[in-house]
Amino acid sequence: MWLETLRRRLAKPKTSVQLCLLGVCAGLIAACLIILFRLTILFFQSLFLDKPDDFTTLPALERLLMPVAAAFLIALFAALTGFKHYRLGIPFVIHRIKKHYGHMPLYNTVNQFVGGALALISGFSVGREGPSVHMGATGASVLADKLHLPHNAMRTLSGCGVAAGIAASFNTPLAAVIFVMEVVLREYKVHIFVPIMLAAVTGALATQFVFGDASELALITVNSLSGWHYPFLILFGMALGAVAFTFNQNLMLIIRTFKPLSMFPRLLLAGFIAGLIAYLVPQAMGSGMSAITLAVESPNNVQLITTVLIAKLLATLFAIGLGIPGGIIGPVIGLGVLLGTLMAFFAQFISPDVDIAGTYGVLGMAGLLAATLHAPLAALTTVMELTSSHEIIVPAMLVISTAYVTALQLFGNRSIFMQQLDFQGLEYQISPATEALQKVGVMAEMDEQFKLLYADDKEQIKASLDALDSQTPLIVFDQENGYRLAEYDLSLMTDQSSNIKYVSLVGLSSQATLADAFDLLKDKRSGAVYIYNLLDNQQIMGILRWDQIRHILTIRNSLL
């Protein structure tokens, strides 16, 4: 009984204690999956590395062969499970949330876990946030599915899982919330903002409990910049916008070029390229966090930083472009820090007495993130959280704005996630009407005052109609026609007789949203659907007419 009450409450697009508690549960499930994922990586890396993600101490031959072996295992596991390799990571999650209310298939999440772990253990230049987001969304989806929650609540909980995944990966709960709103859901609504915020906090606290609260950028020293740097920061932002455009274009070029290759040769090619780069430049291996360590330890070694930057750029493009399961955000952070450290070599002539390498490294990360992902606000909050420095805010806003506008207007750059979705043929755009209706479950609006008659006798139907008031619908059922709505046809009534007209009814699960009802009725612009209990499809819970949906779209749309 309490579950039925919960489902009815969650069908409404309102903030509630129940939704917030479920958001916390979704965040905790996501955090547990991600903690297991990270512990798996750390355990296996500890068997052959002195420090996590530091592959420089490995013999050259091992660096060459390890990515090849990992690529083979990834391909083998994918082949055994019948896995379609491009259906992974943040782009796939965006598609599932937009078109399927965040319902995530379990089989490819298992591949995401195994493939992502193998890629990160073996030093591929990919990030852990892609698998983390995927697993977080799946954990939330399973929770909603097991409780048979309305699909509008499942959509919100999937956003909670994504936020917890980002927060657990980078220890940035605020940036995780902004990322979900700016990149994944692409809307700001209070009733979904609060549970997502609680999920992000839960994910961050859970991972802090296991791994501590230190962030990778804590190594970087951030000093305030004088106003004389600001003209140079504008040029820096423009350069970052150009680099972001070049990065996105080349990544999509590699994806398109190698699409005809089947999975095995494509992944093995990725392994050979990664192994060759690792053999020559071991500092380019791993996620972007190893690049941060290099920038901190050798900020004045321009030759080394330039070499690692080029090697890591190539390693990232080929790893992700050829289908290695992993995220793009981690490598972009590392590339941005390396670019910023290089720019600091020229900017140091403006302030010779101040150490600005760390500040420029952070600014490079912020600008490249914003322009590559089309997420300027998420990039800004990431910088603020990771550095805990208020001195970085104004210069970061200047670099982010310049990089974003340059990439967008001068080069016509688009979010790399949207470009990947377009290439894969995965839909992510929905109409404003559908988006509004997706927020409301059918249980919130259905008419529960109806009479159900199991008969097809016209006289009995007339008697039932006469006994009911004009506001109470009559549903009749017979084996030949199924469920129909019976009512008097007022246009054909005479003084002596009255005609009955029937409206065919299509059934909708109690989990459905108004968007699902809209899709069934939009062609005729009339009619109705009946709502049946998901757990007992013989039990009709209510009826929903086209006029009700039209009223919500025209009168209440602005409230959703």
**Bridge partners (DSSP) listed for residue 536:** 533
Instruction: Tell me: do 415 and 449 sit in the same domain.
Output: no
Structural domain range at position 6: 2-427
Together in a domain, 333 and 297: yes
Q: Which helix (H) or strand (E) holds 538?
A: strand 536-545
- Does residue 66 form part of some domain? yes
The alpha carbon of residue 152 and the mean position of all alpha carbons in its chain are separated, in whole angstroms, by: 16
Indicate whether 491 belongs to any domain.
yes
Amino acid at the residue 529: V
pLDDT in tens, the chain (560 residues): 788 889 989 999 888 999 999 999 999 999 999 999 999 999 999 999 988 888 988 999 999 999 999 999 999 998 888 765 556 789 999 999 999 999 998 888 898 999 999 999 999 999 999 999 999 999 999 999 999 999 999 999 999 999 999 998 888 899 999 999 999 988 888 888 999 999 999 999 999 999 988 776 677 778 888 888 999 999 999 999 999 999 999 999 999 999 899 889 999 999 999 999 999 999 999 887 778 888 888 888 899 999 999 999 999 999 999 999 999 999 999 999 999 999 998 888 888 878 888 899 999 999 999 999 999 999 999 999 888 888 889 999 999 999 999 999 999 999 999 999 999 888 888 888 888 899 999 999 998 888 888 877 777 888 888 788 777 888 888 877 888 888 887 665 555 456 888 888 888 999 999 999 999 998 888 888 999 987 776 688 889 999 889 888 887 665 55
Residue 42 belongs to a domain: yes
- 458: CATH: 3.10.580.10
Of 548, 543, 547, nearest to 475 (Cα)?
543
The answer to whether residues 423 and 452 belong to one domain is no
For residues 423 and 457, membership in a common domain is answered with: no
In 381-527, where do the E strands start and end? 451-453, 474-478, 482-488, 500-509
pLDDT of residue 491: 67
- Amino acid symbol at 54: D
407 within domain boundaries = yes
Condensed to tens digits (0 to 9), the pLDDT of residues 459-510 reads 788 888 878 877 788 888 887 788 888 888 766 555 545 688 888 888 899 9
* Residues shown for the chain: 560
Amino acid code (one letter) for 76: L
CA neighbor of 515 nearest in space, from 427, 436, 428, 426? 436
Question: CA-CA distance, 336 to 476, in Å (whole number)?
Answer: 66
Element containing residue 544 per DSSP (H, E): strand 536-545
Q: Do 353 and 459 share a domain, yes or no?
A: no
Query: Please, is 297 exposed, middle or buried when counting C-beta atoms within 10 Å of its C-beta (0-12, 13-18, 19+)?
Result: exposed
Q: Locate tokens 């958001």: which residue?
A: 23
pLDDT score for 503: 83
Sheet containing 500-509: order of strands: 451-453, 474-478, 482-488, 500-509, 528-533, 536-545
- Specify if 434 maps to a domain: no
Number of domains present in the structure of the chain: 2
* CATH number for the domain that contains residue 335: 1.10.3080.10
Q: Do 349 and 416 reside in the same domain of the chain?
A: yes
pLDDT of residue 308: 94
b vs e for 424-457, b when ≥16 Cβ sit within 10 Å of the residue's Cβ? bebebeeeebbbbbbbbbbbbbbeeebeebeebe
433 within a domain of the structure (yes/no) = no
In a domain, 494, yes or no: yes
DSSP 8-class letter at 365: H
Nearest C-alpha neighbor of 542 from the set 455, 482, 475: 475
CB 142 within 8 A of CB 174: no
DSSP string, 58-97: S-HHHHHHHHHHHHHHHHHHHHHTT--TTS-HHHHHHHHH
Beta bridge partners, 508, equal: 531
Residues 523 and 391 occupy one common structural domain = no
Q: Are residues 513 and 375 in the same domain?
A: no
Last residue within a domain, chosen from 427, 459, 474: 427
**Claim to verify: residue 414 and residue 487 sit in the same structural domain:** no
Q: Are both 239 and 291 inside the same structural domain?
A: yes
The SS3 of residue 55 is coil
Q: 397 and 474 share a domain?
A: no
Residue that finishes a domain, picked among 388, 404, 427:
427
Last residue of a domain, one of 371, 402, 427: 427
307, 395: one domain? yes
Residue 437, domain member (yes or no) = no
CB 366 within 8 A of CB 404: no
